[in-house]
Amino acid sequence: MPRAVYLLAFGIFAMVTSEFAVAGLMPQMADGLNATIPQIGYLITAFAVAMAAGGPFLTLAVLKLRPKPALMLLFAIFLAGNLLAATAPSYPVMMTARIITGVASQAFFGVAISLAVRLTPPQMRGRSIAVVMNGLMVGTLLGLPLSTLIGERLGWRAAFWVVSALTVLAALATMAGMRRLERAEGDGGDFRQEMRVFANPKLWLVFATSAFIIGATFSAFSYLNPILTQVTGFGSGAIPLLLIAYGAATVIGNNIVGRLADRHTVSVLLCGLALNLIFLTGFALLAHLGIPAVVCMLGIGLVGVTMNPAMAIRVQRTGNARPLVNTVHSSFITLGVIIGSFAGGVAIDNFGLRAPLWLGAALATLGILTLLPELPRRSAARPAPASDAPASQEGPTAATEKQAI
C-alpha cells in the first residue's frame, strides 16, 4: 500500500477528532460560551450541514489544483477554522468556526478518497479506501475519548488546540511524504463538465443506498449512551469502555469490507444491510438484557459505517472516481447522519428510547430495497472494475500514476 494512503488516513483522523470533540465536551463548552446544552448540540448539526451543503462547492474550487497543493489548501482552511474554535470568544464565533471546519473536512474526504483510488491498482482500491477510512474509524475509537479526556483535564479549548497540532502534523507529514502528482485527466473541468455525471439517475439511487446505510447506523449510535444506561441498565462508568469496544468493531469491520469490496461490492452491501437489520431489530427487542444488547451493539459497529469502502466502490463504478463525485457521496453519507440522529431524537420524544433502533431497522430495510434493482443485472453480468467506469473520466492509468509519485 502506498505510504501516501496512510498519510491521507492521518489527515482524516485529525478532522474527525475535531468533529467529535463537541459531543464529549458539551457541559464545559456551554459554560465557557454562555450557551445552553441544546445550543452546543446545534454546533454538531451545523458541522454536519456544512459538510453536506458546502463541501462539494469547495471541492469544485480546488479541482484546478494538483492533488498535493489541494490537500495543503484544505488543511490550511481546516486549521484556520479549528484555531478560530480554540480561541472563540462567543457562541456565534464558534458557530462560524464549525461551519468552516465542516466544509473543509468534507472536501478533504472527497479529494482523499479520489487520490487513494488513483494511487492503487484496481484490485486493491477497496483496501486503499478502507485504509483511508480507518482515519474515521480510529477517530471514533480514540478521537472522541482523547478529546474528552483532554477537555476535562485542561479545559475544552485545549482539545481544539491539540486538534490544531494534529492538523499541522498531518499537513507536514503529507507535504514531506507525498511526492508531486499531476491532476487526473478530466479534473479541473468547467462546472458543466463536472456536473454531467449527475444526470445519471442510477447514481442518485446509489447515493440513496449510502444515506440509508449510514442513517440506519447513526439512529442507533447517536443514542447508545441513554439506551445502554436507561434501558439496559449499565452504569455511566461502563459507557466509555462499551464505546471503545464499538469503535474496535468498526475498525475490524472496515478492514474486512475493504478486502471484499472490489470483487463482491453489492453482495457485501446486501449482507451488511441484512445483518444490520437483524442487529437493530434484536437490539430493539432485547435492549433490557445486558449481554444480548452488547452483542447487538457490537454487531451494528461491525456492519454499519464499515460499509464505506463498498459504498465508495459502487459510487465510482456508477459515476466516476473524481473528487466531486466522492464529495457529493460524502454529503449523502452526512445526510444519513443527520436523518438518523434528528429523526431518532424525534422518535424518542414520541415513542421512547427503543424507537431509534426501530427507526434504524426501517432505514436498513429501505437500503435493501434500493439494492434490489441491481440484483437481476448482477446475475447477467459481473460489474467492471472501478477503474473502468467510465474509463475516459478516470485519468492516467495506475502505472502512470505510480510513476508520477
Q: How many residues does the chain have?
A: 405
Residue 337: predicted pLDDT: 84
Rounded to an integer, what distance in angstroms lies between the CA atom of residue 91 and that of residue 113?
Answer: 33
> pLDDT by residue (tens digit) across 71-104?
999 999 999 999 999 999 999 999 999 999 999 9
Residue 363: predicted pLDDT: 97
Residue 87: predicted pLDDT: 95
> How many CB atoms are located within 10 Å of the residue 298 CB?
19
CA distances from 256 to 45, 237, 260, 307, 331 (A): 31, 31, 7, 10, 24
Residue 123: predicted pLDDT: 74
Residue 189: predicted pLDDT: 53
Preceding amide of 390 cis, omega within 30:
yes
Residue 405: predicted pLDDT: 32
Residue 181: predicted pLDDT: 61
Regions of the chain short of the pLDDT cut 50: 381, 383-405
Characterize 365-393 residue by residue with b for buried, 16 or more Cβ atoms within 10 angstroms of its Cβ, and e for exposed.
bbbbebbeebeeeeeeeebebbbebeeeb
> pLDDT by residue (tens digit) across 199-223?
999 999 999 999 999 999 989 988 8
The residue type found at 220 is A
Rounded to an integer, what distance in angstroms lies between the CA atom of residue 90 and that of residue 305?
Answer: 34
DSSP line for 354-365:
THHHHHHHHHHH
- Measured in whole angstroms, the distance separating CA 13 from the mean position of its chain's CA atoms is 11
Residue 392: predicted pLDDT: 36
Residue 40: predicted pLDDT: 81
Rounded to an integer, what distance in angstroms lies between the CA atom of residue 24 and that of residue 160?
Answer: 12
Rounded to an integer, what distance in angstroms lies between the CA atom of residue 28 and that of residue 311?
Answer: 37
| Count of alpha carbons within 13 angstroms of residue 67, beta-carbon side | 29
What is the pTM for the complete model shown?
A: 0.78
Residue 390: predicted pLDDT: 40
Residue 385: predicted pLDDT: 47
Domain boundaries, the chain: 3-404
> How many CB atoms are located within 10 Å of the residue 102 CB?
29
Cell of 345: 431524537
> Which candidate, 128, 178, 96, 147, places its Cα nearest to that of 9?
128
Residue 395: predicted pLDDT: 38
> What is the CATH class of 3-404?
mainly alpha
